[in-house]
Amino acid sequence: MRNLIIIFLVPLYNIMSIYGQQDPHYTQYMYNTMSVNPAYAGSLGHTVINALGRMQWMDIPGAPRTQTLSYETPIDFSRLGLGVNIVNDKIGPSQETSLDLNLSYAIQISETGKLAMGLKLGGRLFNVDWSKSIVKHPKDRLLVPINNKILPTIGAGIYYYTSDWYIGLSTPNFLRTDHYDDNTNQGVVSEERMHFFLIGGKVFQLSDQIKLKPAFLFKGVKGAPISMDLSLNLHYNSKLITGVSWRWKDTISTLIGFQITKQIQLGYAYDLSTSNYRSYNSGTHEIMLRYELFRLGSIVSPRFF
Protein backbone atom coordinates (compact mmCIF):
# COMPACT_ATOMS: atom_id res chain seq x y z
CA MET A 1 0.00 0.00 0.00
CA ARG A 2 1.10 3.51 -0.56
CA ASN A 3 2.28 6.11 1.96
CA LEU A 4 -0.99 8.02 2.40
CA ILE A 5 -2.90 4.91 3.36
CA ILE A 6 -0.38 4.75 6.18
CA ILE A 7 -1.39 8.28 7.16
CA PHE A 8 -5.07 7.33 7.19
CA LEU A 9 -4.25 4.65 9.77
CA VAL A 10 -2.26 6.96 12.05
CA PRO A 11 -5.15 8.05 14.32
CA LEU A 12 -5.85 4.38 15.07
CA TYR A 13 -2.26 3.23 15.50
CA ASN A 14 -0.36 6.30 16.67
CA ILE A 15 1.82 4.32 19.06
CA MET A 16 3.65 2.42 16.34
CA SER A 17 5.27 2.87 12.92
CA ILE A 18 3.75 1.32 9.82
CA TYR A 19 5.54 0.86 6.51
CA GLY A 20 4.41 -0.40 3.11
CA GLN A 21 4.72 -0.18 -0.64
CA GLN A 22 5.14 3.44 -1.72
CA ASP A 23 6.20 3.63 -5.39
CA PRO A 24 3.47 3.35 -8.04
CA HIS A 25 2.77 0.05 -9.80
CA TYR A 26 2.67 -0.16 -13.61
CA THR A 27 1.16 -3.13 -15.44
CA GLN A 28 2.85 -2.10 -18.70
CA TYR A 29 6.24 -1.84 -16.99
CA MET A 30 7.94 -3.61 -19.93
CA TYR A 31 7.21 -0.56 -22.11
CA ASN A 32 7.94 1.97 -19.36
CA THR A 33 11.30 0.64 -18.17
CA MET A 34 13.04 3.95 -17.51
CA SER A 35 10.53 4.66 -14.74
CA VAL A 36 12.17 1.92 -12.65
CA ASN A 37 15.73 1.81 -14.06
CA PRO A 38 17.68 4.90 -15.16
CA ALA A 39 20.25 2.73 -17.01
CA TYR A 40 17.59 2.05 -19.68
CA ALA A 41 17.77 5.64 -20.97
CA GLY A 42 18.88 5.75 -24.59
CA SER A 43 19.28 1.98 -24.92
CA LEU A 44 16.96 1.73 -27.94
CA GLY A 45 19.29 3.91 -29.99
CA HIS A 46 16.66 6.51 -30.90
CA THR A 47 14.38 9.04 -29.22
CA VAL A 48 11.29 7.76 -27.38
CA ILE A 49 8.46 9.77 -25.81
CA ASN A 50 6.12 7.79 -23.57
CA ALA A 51 2.92 8.88 -21.80
CA LEU A 52 1.00 6.65 -19.38
CA GLY A 53 -2.09 7.12 -17.25
CA ARG A 54 -3.23 4.71 -14.53
CA MET A 55 -6.58 4.75 -12.71
CA GLN A 56 -6.34 2.26 -9.88
CA TRP A 57 -9.17 0.59 -7.96
CA MET A 58 -12.17 2.10 -9.71
CA ASP A 59 -15.20 2.85 -7.51
CA ILE A 60 -13.02 3.58 -4.44
CA PRO A 61 -13.00 7.32 -3.59
CA GLY A 62 -9.48 8.68 -3.29
CA ALA A 63 -7.88 5.65 -4.96
CA PRO A 64 -4.48 6.17 -6.64
CA ARG A 65 -4.30 8.07 -9.92
CA THR A 66 -0.93 8.22 -11.68
CA GLN A 67 0.27 9.96 -14.83
CA THR A 68 3.78 9.73 -16.28
CA LEU A 69 5.53 11.46 -19.17
CA SER A 70 9.04 10.46 -20.20
CA TYR A 71 11.58 11.43 -22.84
CA GLU A 72 14.74 9.49 -23.59
CA THR A 73 17.38 9.63 -26.29
CA PRO A 74 20.96 8.55 -26.98
CA ILE A 75 23.54 11.31 -27.07
CA ASP A 76 25.28 11.39 -30.46
CA PHE A 77 28.85 10.15 -30.78
CA SER A 78 29.00 8.90 -27.22
CA ARG A 79 27.96 5.96 -25.10
CA LEU A 80 25.64 8.18 -23.10
CA GLY A 81 21.86 8.16 -22.90
CA LEU A 82 19.67 10.92 -21.49
CA GLY A 83 16.17 10.70 -20.08
CA VAL A 84 13.64 12.90 -18.31
CA ASN A 85 10.73 11.46 -16.34
CA ILE A 86 7.76 13.38 -14.89
CA VAL A 87 5.30 11.60 -12.59
CA ASN A 88 2.14 12.93 -10.99
CA ASP A 89 0.84 10.56 -8.31
CA LYS A 90 -2.33 11.31 -6.39
CA ILE A 91 -3.99 9.30 -3.63
CA GLY A 92 -6.70 10.61 -1.31
CA PRO A 93 -5.78 14.10 -0.06
CA SER A 94 -2.15 13.79 -1.13
CA GLN A 95 -0.40 14.66 -4.36
CA GLU A 96 3.22 14.00 -5.24
CA THR A 97 4.82 15.37 -8.41
CA SER A 98 8.32 14.27 -9.34
CA LEU A 99 10.85 15.39 -11.94
CA ASP A 100 13.88 13.19 -12.56
CA LEU A 101 16.87 13.39 -14.86
CA ASN A 102 18.34 10.03 -15.94
CA LEU A 103 21.84 9.57 -17.37
CA SER A 104 23.20 6.24 -18.61
CA TYR A 105 26.56 5.02 -19.88
CA ALA A 106 26.74 1.79 -21.91
CA ILE A 107 29.75 -0.35 -22.74
CA GLN A 108 30.04 -3.29 -25.13
CA ILE A 109 31.06 -6.27 -22.99
CA SER A 110 30.37 -9.08 -25.48
CA GLU A 111 29.77 -9.53 -29.17
CA THR A 112 26.03 -9.10 -28.74
CA GLY A 113 25.55 -7.55 -25.31
CA LYS A 114 25.91 -4.15 -23.67
CA LEU A 115 26.05 -3.24 -19.99
CA ALA A 116 24.58 0.14 -19.07
CA MET A 117 24.99 1.97 -15.77
CA GLY A 118 22.53 4.69 -14.87
CA LEU A 119 22.13 7.54 -12.41
CA LYS A 120 18.92 9.35 -11.51
CA LEU A 121 18.79 12.80 -9.90
CA GLY A 122 15.67 14.75 -9.16
CA GLY A 123 13.08 15.67 -6.61
CA ARG A 124 9.46 15.34 -5.55
CA LEU A 125 6.97 17.98 -4.54
CA PHE A 126 4.69 16.58 -1.84
CA ASN A 127 1.34 18.04 -0.71
CA VAL A 128 -1.41 16.87 1.63
CA ASP A 129 -4.72 18.76 1.81
CA TRP A 130 -6.96 17.19 4.44
CA SER A 131 -9.94 19.29 3.30
CA LYS A 132 -10.18 16.93 0.30
CA SER A 133 -10.83 13.95 2.55
CA ILE A 134 -13.53 12.83 4.95
CA VAL A 135 -12.20 12.53 8.50
CA LYS A 136 -14.01 11.54 11.67
CA HIS A 137 -12.17 14.06 13.86
CA PRO A 138 -11.33 17.17 11.77
CA LYS A 139 -9.51 18.80 14.70
CA ASP A 140 -7.17 15.86 15.25
CA ARG A 141 -3.71 17.33 15.90
CA LEU A 142 -2.16 14.72 13.60
CA LEU A 143 -4.01 16.06 10.55
CA VAL A 144 -1.45 18.73 9.71
CA PRO A 145 -1.45 19.84 6.04
CA ILE A 146 1.76 19.60 4.03
CA ASN A 147 2.47 22.34 1.51
CA ASN A 148 5.07 21.90 -1.23
CA LYS A 149 7.46 19.74 0.74
CA ILE A 150 10.53 19.02 -1.39
CA LEU A 151 11.93 15.48 -1.24
CA PRO A 152 15.22 14.92 -3.14
CA THR A 153 15.79 11.80 -5.23
CA ILE A 154 19.05 9.97 -5.98
CA GLY A 155 18.80 6.59 -7.68
CA ALA A 156 20.93 4.22 -9.76
CA GLY A 157 20.69 1.06 -11.83
CA ILE A 158 22.49 -1.40 -14.06
CA TYR A 159 21.00 -2.89 -17.21
CA TYR A 160 22.40 -5.63 -19.46
CA TYR A 161 20.77 -6.16 -22.85
CA THR A 162 21.21 -7.88 -26.20
CA SER A 163 18.99 -7.84 -29.27
CA ASP A 164 16.54 -10.34 -27.75
CA TRP A 165 16.85 -10.37 -23.92
CA TYR A 166 17.60 -8.09 -20.97
CA ILE A 167 17.98 -8.01 -17.21
CA GLY A 168 18.38 -5.07 -14.83
CA LEU A 169 18.67 -4.17 -11.16
CA SER A 170 17.95 -0.73 -9.74
CA THR A 171 16.87 1.38 -6.80
CA PRO A 172 14.97 4.55 -7.77
CA ASN A 173 15.91 6.39 -4.56
CA PHE A 174 18.69 5.79 -2.04
CA LEU A 175 17.45 8.52 0.29
CA ARG A 176 15.18 7.79 3.24
CA THR A 177 13.05 10.91 3.59
CA ASP A 178 10.10 11.64 5.86
CA HIS A 179 6.80 12.25 4.10
CA TYR A 180 4.90 12.99 7.29
CA ASP A 181 6.22 13.66 10.80
CA ASP A 182 4.36 13.52 14.06
CA ASN A 183 6.36 16.28 15.73
CA THR A 184 4.16 16.25 18.78
CA ASN A 185 4.92 12.64 19.58
CA GLN A 186 8.40 12.85 18.08
CA GLY A 187 7.84 9.84 15.85
CA VAL A 188 7.93 9.24 12.12
CA VAL A 189 4.53 8.39 10.71
CA SER A 190 5.33 7.93 7.02
CA GLU A 191 8.85 7.41 5.70
CA GLU A 192 10.22 7.00 2.19
CA ARG A 193 12.05 3.68 2.10
CA MET A 194 14.56 2.27 -0.37
CA HIS A 195 12.98 0.12 -3.09
CA PHE A 196 14.79 -2.47 -5.19
CA PHE A 197 13.65 -3.50 -8.68
CA LEU A 198 14.77 -6.57 -10.61
CA ILE A 199 13.49 -6.72 -14.20
CA GLY A 200 14.06 -9.10 -17.08
CA GLY A 201 12.60 -10.35 -20.34
CA LYS A 202 13.24 -12.20 -23.56
CA VAL A 203 11.81 -12.27 -27.08
CA PHE A 204 11.28 -15.65 -28.79
CA GLN A 205 10.78 -15.76 -32.57
CA LEU A 206 8.01 -18.36 -33.00
CA SER A 207 7.51 -17.64 -36.70
CA ASP A 208 8.04 -14.90 -39.26
CA GLN A 209 4.90 -13.20 -37.96
CA ILE A 210 4.70 -14.13 -34.26
CA LYS A 211 7.02 -13.24 -31.38
CA LEU A 212 6.56 -14.32 -27.76
CA LYS A 213 7.80 -12.00 -25.03
CA PRO A 214 7.84 -13.17 -21.37
CA ALA A 215 8.92 -10.59 -18.79
CA PHE A 216 9.14 -10.22 -15.02
CA LEU A 217 9.50 -7.53 -12.38
CA PHE A 218 10.31 -8.07 -8.71
CA LYS A 219 9.99 -5.16 -6.31
CA GLY A 220 11.22 -5.26 -2.71
CA VAL A 221 11.06 -2.77 0.13
CA LYS A 222 11.69 -3.35 3.82
CA GLY A 223 8.47 -3.72 5.80
CA ALA A 224 6.34 -5.01 2.92
CA PRO A 225 5.99 -8.33 1.06
CA ILE A 226 7.93 -8.76 -2.17
CA SER A 227 5.87 -7.71 -5.19
CA MET A 228 6.23 -10.06 -8.17
CA ASP A 229 4.88 -9.39 -11.67
CA LEU A 230 4.97 -12.00 -14.44
CA SER A 231 3.76 -11.23 -17.95
CA LEU A 232 3.51 -12.94 -21.31
CA ASN A 233 2.90 -10.98 -24.51
CA LEU A 234 2.39 -12.08 -28.11
CA HIS A 235 3.40 -9.80 -30.99
CA TYR A 236 1.53 -10.44 -34.24
CA ASN A 237 3.07 -9.15 -37.47
CA SER A 238 4.59 -6.20 -35.54
CA LYS A 239 1.08 -4.66 -35.51
CA LEU A 240 -0.89 -6.23 -32.66
CA ILE A 241 0.19 -7.07 -29.11
CA THR A 242 -1.88 -9.16 -26.71
CA GLY A 243 -0.90 -10.48 -23.34
CA VAL A 244 -1.64 -11.42 -19.77
CA SER A 245 0.06 -10.44 -16.54
CA TRP A 246 -0.12 -11.70 -12.97
CA ARG A 247 0.88 -9.90 -9.79
CA TRP A 248 1.41 -12.27 -6.88
CA LYS A 249 -1.48 -12.18 -4.39
CA ASP A 250 -2.83 -9.02 -5.97
CA THR A 251 -4.10 -8.91 -9.59
CA ILE A 252 -4.44 -10.63 -12.92
CA SER A 253 -4.30 -8.42 -15.99
CA THR A 254 -4.97 -8.42 -19.70
CA LEU A 255 -2.99 -6.27 -22.11
CA ILE A 256 -3.55 -5.19 -25.69
CA GLY A 257 -1.47 -2.93 -27.89
CA PHE A 258 -1.62 -1.55 -31.42
CA GLN A 259 1.32 -0.42 -33.54
CA ILE A 260 -0.66 2.30 -35.30
CA THR A 261 2.29 3.50 -37.37
CA LYS A 262 6.01 2.76 -37.33
CA GLN A 263 6.39 5.53 -34.75
CA ILE A 264 3.19 5.32 -32.68
CA GLN A 265 2.12 2.54 -30.31
CA LEU A 266 -1.06 2.52 -28.22
CA GLY A 267 -1.39 0.18 -25.26
CA TYR A 268 -4.13 -0.65 -22.74
CA ALA A 269 -4.16 -2.85 -19.64
CA TYR A 270 -6.96 -3.88 -17.30
CA ASP A 271 -6.22 -5.22 -13.82
CA LEU A 272 -8.70 -7.33 -11.87
CA SER A 273 -8.00 -7.68 -8.16
CA THR A 274 -7.58 -11.19 -6.78
CA SER A 275 -7.09 -10.05 -3.18
CA ASN A 276 -9.76 -8.96 -0.71
CA TYR A 277 -9.95 -5.60 -2.50
CA ARG A 278 -11.89 -7.24 -5.35
CA SER A 279 -15.09 -6.82 -3.33
CA TYR A 280 -14.68 -3.04 -3.26
CA ASN A 281 -13.51 -2.06 -6.75
CA SER A 282 -14.24 -2.84 -10.38
CA GLY A 283 -10.63 -3.02 -11.51
CA THR A 284 -7.80 -0.81 -12.68
CA HIS A 285 -7.35 0.84 -16.09
CA GLU A 286 -4.01 1.80 -17.60
CA ILE A 287 -3.43 3.41 -21.00
CA MET A 288 -0.13 4.15 -22.71
CA LEU A 289 0.86 6.15 -25.78
CA ARG A 290 4.40 5.73 -27.12
CA TYR A 291 6.11 7.72 -29.88
CA GLU A 292 9.46 6.67 -31.35
CA LEU A 293 11.45 9.12 -33.43
CA PHE A 294 13.83 7.26 -35.71
CA ARG A 295 16.84 8.92 -37.23
CA LEU A 296 16.75 9.67 -40.93
CA GLY A 297 17.93 6.59 -42.84
CA SER A 298 18.16 4.41 -39.73
CA ILE A 299 17.02 0.79 -39.58
CA VAL A 300 14.18 0.10 -37.16
CA SER A 301 15.47 -1.88 -34.17
CA PRO A 302 14.11 -5.46 -34.05
CA ARG A 303 13.92 -5.26 -30.24
CA PHE A 304 10.62 -5.23 -28.39
CA PHE A 305 11.75 -3.79 -25.04
Give the pLDDT means over successive 10-residue stretches in the chain (305 positions).
39 34 78 93 93 91 92 91 96 92 96 95 90 68 78 95 95 75 49 84 93 94 84 93 93 95 94 82 92 69 58
**For residues 202 and 16, what is the distance between their CA atoms, to the nearest angstrom?**
44
pLDDT at 18: 35
Contact by Cβ (8 Å): 118, 103: yes
- Judged by DSSP in three states, 218 sits in strand
**For residues 38 and 145, what is the distance between their CA atoms, to the nearest angstrom?**
32
Which residues lie across from 274 on neighbouring strands? none
Q: For the chain, how many helices (H) and strands (E)?
A: 1, 17
DSSP 83: E
Which residues lie across from 169 on neighbouring strands? 158, 198
pLDDT at 141: 62
**For residues 45 and 54, what is the distance between their CA atoms, to the nearest angstrom?**
27
pTM for this entry: 0.83
**For residues 251 and 277, what is the distance between their CA atoms, to the nearest angstrom?**
10
Other CB atoms within a 10 A radius of the CB of residue 264 amount to 12
- Judged by DSSP in three states, 183 sits in coil
pLDDT at 161: 96
- How far from chain centre, in Å, is Cα 299? 29
DSSP 14: T
Largest CA distance in the chain: 66
**For residues 24 and 173, what is the distance between their CA atoms, to the nearest angstrom?**
13
Which residues lie across from 292 on neighbouring strands? 48
pLDDT at 122: 96
**Identity at 24, one-letter amino acid code:** P
pLDDT at 23: 72
Contact by Cβ (8 Å): 272, 283: yes
* List of residues 6+ apart from 31 with CB closer than 8 A: 50, 257, 265, 267, 288, 290, 305
pLDDT at 20: 38
